[in-house]
């Protein structure tokens, strides 16, 4: 059983992979700070974790699509004197459709959540990990990070940022006692597709997708083992490898074909 020196802070904890990761930490007796927009969902999850796993579970409602929410989260943790040893930047969302006709406000919020808030939280909590010479960071990227994605152009680009940022940061933190893991799941059974309006895409329609729990179990183990890039599923791993070898023009056309709605 793991013996934590501090808390695990998980963003996007109220559903999907974030909720499943929260359960992983609780099952290993690691206390958690749960972050999401929905207070009701957070309260229900915190109650479940406390009752089933007998761990401390605190909640903080935050909308990471708004500026400076990361600073509010840091202030909460400092006020409550909560040392964060495990940082999980899981919050994120996508949008489906051509960039030129997309909702620009939703696009801006996607960049804020997927890139800005993730970067801020990493920068804000990293110094205390460095001071303690121990800590683990998980950035939830995606298999979308490995290639451009027509019809989800901004989302794919944000995940490429997450992957590259994570790999570079991991290198900077060598021999510090801190590891960085970029978790790269493929399409997963969650409410992501509904939010992104891509339920009829060839990528997901009629497909048997892995569950959030399966992805979270894999990601948790990868994080604890200090794996830098963790691609869930053999097919996803082979696909991520193959696109690095294929001509870029072919890759873009293939992604466009897969993304088209049926």
How would CATH label the architecture of 7-259?
3-Layer(aba) Sandwich (3.40)
Q: What number is the average pLDDT over the span 140-158?
A: 95
DSSP states along 3-46 = --SSEEEEESTTSHHHHHHHHHHHHTT--EEEEES-HHHHHHHH
Do residues 90 and 140 make contact, with C-beta atoms less than 8 angstroms apart? Answer: yes
Helix, strand, coil % over all residues of the chain, rounded to 5: 50, 15, 35
Which residues touch 164 (CB under 8 Å, ≥6 apart)?
145
Beta strand ranges found along 45-131 (DSSP E): 57-61, 84-89
| Across 177-186, 188-197, 244-253, least confident range | 188-197
Distance CA 245, CA 42 (A): 43
Question: What local confidence, expressed as pLDDT, does residue 244 receive?
Answer: 72
CA angle 109–111–113, rounded 5-degree value: 70
Question: What local confidence, expressed as pLDDT, does residue 225 receive?
Answer: 97
Give the tens place of pLDDT for each residue, 111-135.
999 999 999 999 999 999 999 999 9
Distance CA 33, CA 30 (A): 10
Taking residue 196's Cβ as centre, other Cβ atoms within 10 Å add up to 19
Q: Which two tokens stand for residue 242?
A: 């193959």
Q: What number is the average pLDDT over the span 177-197?
A: 79
Distance CA 93, CA 12 (A): 10
More confident: 246 or 128? 128
| Across 67-71, 160-164, 249-253, least confident range | 249-253
Distance CA 260, CA 141 (A): 22
Give the tens place of pLDDT for each residue, 55-90.
999 999 999 999 999 999 999 999 999 999 999 999
Greatest distance between any 2 Cα atoms in the chain: 53
Question: What local confidence, expressed as pLDDT, does residue 154 receive?
Answer: 98
More confident: 167 or 200? 167
Q: What number is the average pLDDT over the span 144-150?
A: 93
Which residues touch 96 (CB under 8 Å, ≥6 apart)?
151, 152, 196, 197, 198, 201, 259
Question: What local confidence, expressed as pLDDT, does residue 74 receive?
Answer: 98
| Across 53-62, 137-146, 168-177, 189-198, least confident range | 189-198
Q: How long is the chain? A: 262
At residue 239 the predicted structure's pLDDT band, cuts being 50, 70 and 90, is confident
Sign, CA torsion 150/191/111/240? negative
Checking if the pLDDT of 208 tops 50, the result is: yes
Identify the bridge partners of residue 11 per DSSP, sorted by sequence position. 35
- Catalytically annotated residues: 155
Mean pLDDT over the full length of the chain:
90
Provide the residue ranges of all domains of the chain, joining segments of one domain with +: 7-259
Phi/psi at 237 (5° precision): -65, -45
Question: What local confidence, expressed as pLDDT, does residue 2 receive?
Answer: 46
């Amino acid at each position: 059983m793991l013996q934590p020196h501090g808390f695990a802070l998980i963003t996007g904890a109220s559903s999907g992979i974030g909720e499943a990761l929260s359960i992983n930490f609780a099952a290993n007796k690691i206390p958690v700070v749960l972050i999401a927009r929905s207070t009701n969902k957070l309260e229900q999850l915190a109650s479940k974790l406390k009752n089933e796993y007998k761990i401390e579970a605190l909640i903080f409602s935050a909308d990471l699509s708004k500026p400076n929410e990361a600073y509010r989260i840091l202030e909460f943790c400092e006020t409550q004197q909560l040392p964060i040893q495990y940082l999980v930047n899981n919050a994120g969302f996508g949008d489906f459709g051509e960039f030129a006709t997309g909702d620009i406000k939703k696009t801006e919020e996607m960049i804020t959540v997927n890139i800005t808030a993730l970067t801020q939280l990493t920068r804000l909590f990293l110094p205390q990990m460095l001071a303690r010479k121990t800590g683990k960071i998980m950035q939830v990227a995606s298999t979308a990070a490995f290639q451009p994605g027509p019809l989800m152009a901004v989302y794919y680009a944000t995940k490429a940022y997450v992957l590259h940022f994570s790999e570079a940061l991991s290198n900077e933190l060598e021999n510090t006692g801190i590891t960085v893991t970029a978790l790269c799941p493929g399409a997963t059974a969650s409410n992501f597709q509904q939010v992104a309006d891509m339920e009829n895409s060839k990528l997901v329609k009629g497909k048997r997708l892995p569950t959030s729990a399966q992805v979270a179990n894999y990601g948790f183990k990868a994080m604890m083992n200090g794996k830098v890039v963790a691609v869930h599923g053999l097919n996803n791993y082979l696909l991520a490898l193959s696109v690095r070898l294929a001509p870029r023009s072919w890759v873009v056309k293939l992604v466009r074909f897969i993304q088209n709605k049926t």
